[in-house]
Amino acid sequence: MNATAVRLVDLAFAYPDGTGALRGVNLEIADGERVAVLGPNGAGKSTLMLHLNGVLTASSGEVYIGATRLDRTTVRAIRQRVGVVFQDPDDQLFMPTVEQDVAFGPSNFGMRGEHLTESVRFALDAVGMSDRADRSPTRLSLGERRRAALATVLACRPEVLVLDEPAANLDPVSRRELADILLSLPTTLVLVTHDLPYAQRICDRALILDGGRVVADGPIDEILGDADLLAAHRLS
């Protein structure tokens, strides 16, 4: 069996106004698995995602990446091991050129010299953006900016890759190109999305989150083949 890449133990989180977003989530993801996190608006999907690298801190419960428990002493190291790609690529692209954006993350984690150069080259090659390295992100299409944002995370060589609605608003060609890239990566992948066909193309397993709880978890074909289950949780 593969080692465990992500483990959540009784994870709970409430916002300052008392709104409960996660309610005792227990979850294990094996190394190399591709898992889709599905659910209606307000289910807690984005909140869950932001716990995986310490952007949000749990009210109670525990997050483990591999064998390492996430806490204030390990959060910096875990942020290098868990890369998050946000829905809006402009949240991650702010430097004058794509290459500088891709270099920013690993440089911030202490990479220097040839190691940094190689990591940037690897990431740009992985997303098919080597020929746009010197281009300003403002001159890229949305699909290209999504791939550039993915490269900024891949350059840090993460063990776990978390993506929030990666195919949203992309044209069919860009959707296919991004799917092919994601399928080529050996990294453990957590895909947060409303796009059920896209999730089915990329992931082998799905879980449904609703009301801050995991209400279904299993092979994605079985989950998406259960019309009553999907309807009960406002998915179609």
All domains in the chain, ordered by first residue? 4-90+160-232 (3.40.50.300)
Distance separating alpha carbons of residues 75 and 66, to the nearest angstrom: 13
Look up tokens 């453990």; give the residue. 188
Reported in sequence order, the residue ranges of 89-159 that DSSP labels E, i.e. its strands, are none
Instruction: Quote the pLDDT of residue 18.
Output: 84
Cβ atoms of 69 and 44 within 8 Å: the answer is no
Instruction: Quote the pLDDT of residue 17.
Output: 86
% of the chain beyond a pLDDT of 90: 95
Instruction: Quote the pLDDT of residue 2.
Output: 74
Calculate mean pLDDT across residues 133-155.
96
Calculate mean pLDDT across residues 25-37.
97
Residue 5 scores a pLDDT above 70:
yes
Closest CA to 89 of 153, 149, 135: 149
Residue 48: DSSP 8-state:
H
User: Residue 20 — very low, low, confident or very high, per pLDDT cuts 50/70/90?
Assistant: confident
- What 3-state class would DSSP assign to 200? helix
Closest CA to 128 of 142, 105, 144, 106: 144
Instruction: Quote the pLDDT of residue 1.
Output: 58
Instruction: Quote the pLDDT of residue 14.
Output: 93
Distance separating alpha carbons of residues 163 and 170, to the nearest angstrom: 15
Instruction: Quote the pLDDT of residue 199.
Output: 96
Residues making up the chain, counted from first to last: 236
Instruction: Quote the pLDDT of residue 98.
Output: 97
219: left (phi over 0), alpha (psi -120 to 50) or beta: beta
- What 3-state class would DSSP assign to 58? coil
Cβ atoms of 193 and 36 within 8 Å: the answer is yes
Residue 47 scores a pLDDT above 90:
yes
pTM of structure: 0.93
The average confidence (pLDDT) of the chain is 95
Look up tokens 């911030």; give the residue. 108
Calculate mean pLDDT across residues 32-41.
95
Cβ atoms of 170 and 145 within 8 Å: the answer is no
pLDDT digits (tens, 9 = 90+) for 155-207: 999 999 999 999 999 999 999 999 999 999 999 999 999 999 999 999 999 99
What are the residues whose beta carbons fall under 8 Å from the beta carbon of 116, sequence distance 6 or more?
103, 106, 107
% of the chain beyond a pLDDT of 70: 100
